[in-house]
Structure 1
Amino acid sequence: MTTLFDSLELGRLTLPNRVTMAALTRSRAGRDGVPTHLHETYYTQRASLGLIVTEGVFPAVTSRAFPGQPGIETPEQISGWRRVADSVHEAGGRIFMQVMNGGRLSHASLLEGAEPVAPSALASGTAVRDFESRKECPVPRALDIEELPRIVDEFRQAARNAIDAGMDGVELHGANGYLLHQFLSPSSNHREDAYGGTPEKRYRLVVEILRAVAEEIGADRVALRLSPQHNIQGIEETDAADVRATYGGLLRAVADLGLAYVSFLHAAPTGELITELSAEARANGRTRVILNSGFGQVTQRAEAEDLVHHGDAVAVGRLAISNPDLVRRWQEELPVTAPDETTFYTGGAHGYTDYPFSTVNS
């Protein structure tokens, strides 16, 4: 039976183990969106994980979702990420960049005065923190159909920039209520053109982005993050038949590409829906499936083992924050450190790069 510590062929990579680090918002960049030496240290400390996925990175400043978010648009941002990637590789690690557009989950104060955009002019009913205070997310501007090629191109260029920065690949964020999820969900996409209405039309933009990015950098360096039925940040997906048609149809529409992996976040990651969608993702014989820890957290090795028995690898969040040597701790059954949630988004080294490695001798 497969274990967490078995190797895995994933795209162009061979992972030494199946414990991956999920994309985790940490809000440590400055207003310029440039990664710092803290990012370099943070990710390098976690190089023993099978695969690191960076926090969500904006492809253009007009798609930023929160303060402290890094970008992959400017030469300075690309250079900053190159230092991160080089350091992770020197430590023997592997790293994908998650690329995300916040869509309606933003505010003009984060976007250099631009309006937040979305498939439809429907507010999320949520709030976002900008550089000074917490603000209600406004009613977004509905994207004109003529603007959608620009959205596609921003993702394509971000992927090229990530590879030029030395990343091993990119994970496109189609989950958690951000722009791509907004297009997928009937609760946020009320369009009546070629990009809204039926499931096929709602997932059309995601397919176009995946194909453009795959053509730019190679499909075996491209991954997709999905969270079907994750009713979060104004998203509601309660029609089971529609969910299956939307996400199953999306995966079938890109099956020929042979993506590196699809990562699923779901309340029941070993349940019927994700089992069905995992089969769709794997049908081409090349795409791997990474399962996340439900809507809670993986807190025990046994939970992670159960997930890897249903998928090809497991994505771990909070324990990867507080245990840079998590793979060793689980493999040798050493105690783990609990994360300090009060430091998740506060900036600085505390709660970011100062979590200890185990001092127990092997």
Structure 2
Amino acid sequence: MSALFTPLKLGNTMIPNRIGMSALTRNRSTTTVPNELMLKYYVQRAKGGAGLIVSEGILISRQGSEWQQAPGIWNQAQIDGLVFPPRFGAEKLIYFFHSSFGTDASHTLMPPNKLPLEWQPVYAPSAISARGGKFRFLTGHPGYVTPTEIADPTTLIAQFKQAAINAKEAGFDGVELHGANGYLVHQFLDSTSNHRTDKWGGSSENRARFALETLRALIEVWGPDVALKISPTGGYNDMGMPLQDTIDTFGHLLREADKLGLSYVTLVRYSTHTDVEFEGKLRATQHDVLSTFAPLLTSTPVFVNSGVTPAEAEALVRSGKAAGVFMGINWISHPDLVRRLKAGQALDNVLDFVRIYGSDAEGVDLTVGYVDYPEATY
């Protein structure tokens, strides 16, 4: 696997290998302020050889939170709690992955959304609720709430920009905009969730405007150290357009994004784990996102995410089809993943699915299924 272990320049930073750790929501922030347990988790995987670590989703505001124990970055306590990279050692790298969760994928009864009023999930491109609605901390299937259409999307772009400023203060090496999985940026892109008739909706070009303007705002803060993650197949959180609309929309987005000098773009492939079924049909628009969209990125490194095996990762990088890969599940149960691959060690740990996302029960040991996976013997 020699190709995977070659360095790569991303923006202003050289990473030591092509195996990144993708953003993984783990729900261990007990409050919105990051804690020492989270630091231990990231340090384990930094020592395990990750070439690039993307943090879990970090909230840019309290509004619309889908995850009760996700960290935020809108106040000083959160900024201070996120000062992770300097404590990793100079050779380690974290990219901050921030998003505005929730909107039509949230619920007013979620514990952090009960009070005060400003915590309510009020913003979305259009007043459309996602179908489904199985919530971890609510019993039954109450369904998603219907959000209020945001009158002026630039107010949300300003929140992203302030989060980027805060991320720089916290000492991160760059930012990755979450444009995937049915959250806010993806909702603007998708014609099923964006029914606007102003300049932010309608045509493919208009629906891509929010993502592109947000990227430009982040670049004002970070220059070339800005990345984008997208999942064109949809599925999760009731996302997904007809194939031609998908190609037109994401095609325009990527052609324009390629002009911005981004550090990389992550293409998330189709996964059965993030697809849903409605009325007897799967929701996602299945297609080969790599062959469809990578050719549009002539100036931007492409990373592939979702179900990538080590052997496939080597083939993708060696062939030049991808600059690198992101792995998720394998990093959960193998804190020393890159060291294992480099040494030819087996990937043999078993995931603790009961505790992957923590628990809201009193007295539960949050280290279980989080920082208690053993390393291999070298």
Q: TM-score, normalised by structure 1?
A: 0.90
Aligned residue number for residue 373 of structure 2: 355
8 Å CA contact retained: 2:179, 2:230: yes
Matches within 5 A, 1:289-300: 289-293=302-306, 297-298=307-308, 300=309
Aligned residue number for residue 339 of structure 1: 351
Structure 1 residue ranges (4+ consecutive) displaced by more than 6 angstroms after TM superposition: none
8 Å CA contact retained: 1:100, 1:172: yes
Alignment deviations for residues 108-167 of structure 1 (CA, whole Å, 9 cap, x no partner): 3434432332111111013253766564311111111x2x11100110011111111011
SS at match of 2:259: helix
Q: 1:277 aligns with which of 283, 286, 293?
A: 293
The structure-2 alpha-carbon separation of the partners of 1:306 and 1:13, relative to structure 1 and needing over 3 Å to count, comes to same
RMSD of aligned Cα (Å): 1.9
Q: Is structure 2 residue 139 aligned with structure 1 residue 121?
A: no
8 Å CA contact retained: 2:233, 2:289: no
Question: Unaligned regions of 5+ residues in structure 2, if any?
Answer: 272-286, 360-365
Q: TM-score, normalised by structure 2?
A: 0.86
The structure-2 alpha-carbon separation of the partners of 1:125 and 1:276, relative to structure 1 and needing over 3 Å to count, comes to closer
Return the letter of the residue paired with 1:305: E
Question: Unaligned regions of 5+ residues in structure 1, if any?
Answer: none
% identical aligned pairs:
38
Aligned residue number for residue 27 of structure 1: 27
Distance 2:94 2:177 in 1: 14
8 Å CA contact retained: 1:59, 1:71: yes
Distance 1:202 1:2 in 2: 41
Aligned residue number for residue 288 of structure 1: 301
Q: Is structure 2 residue 321 aligned with structure 1 residue 314?
A: no
Return the letter of the residue paired with 1:36: N
Distance 1:340 1:140 in 2: 34
SS at match of 2:57: strand
Larger mean Cα displacement after TM superposition, 129-138 or 68-77:
129-138
Aligned residue number for residue 156 of structure 1: 161
Distance 1:229 1:221 in 2: 26
* Alpha-carbon distance, 1:275 to partner: 2.4
Aligned residue number for residue 226 of structure 2: 222
Aligned residues: 344
Matches within 5 A, 1:1-362: 3-31=3-31, 33-47=32-46, 48-82=49-83, 84-90=84-90, 92-102=91-101, 103-108=103-108, 109=110, 110-111=112-113, 112-113=116-117, 114-127=120-133, 129=135, 135-144=142-151, 146=152, 148-218=153-223, 220-237=224-241, 239-267=242-270, 273-281=289-297, 283-284=298-299, 287-293=300-306, 297-298=307-308, 300-308=309-317, 309=319, 310-336=321-347, 337-347=349-359, 348-360=366-378
SS at match of 2:20: strand
* Alpha-carbon distance, 1:45 to partner: 0.8
The structure-2 alpha-carbon separation of the partners of 1:273 and 1:318, relative to structure 1 and needing over 3 Å to count, comes to closer
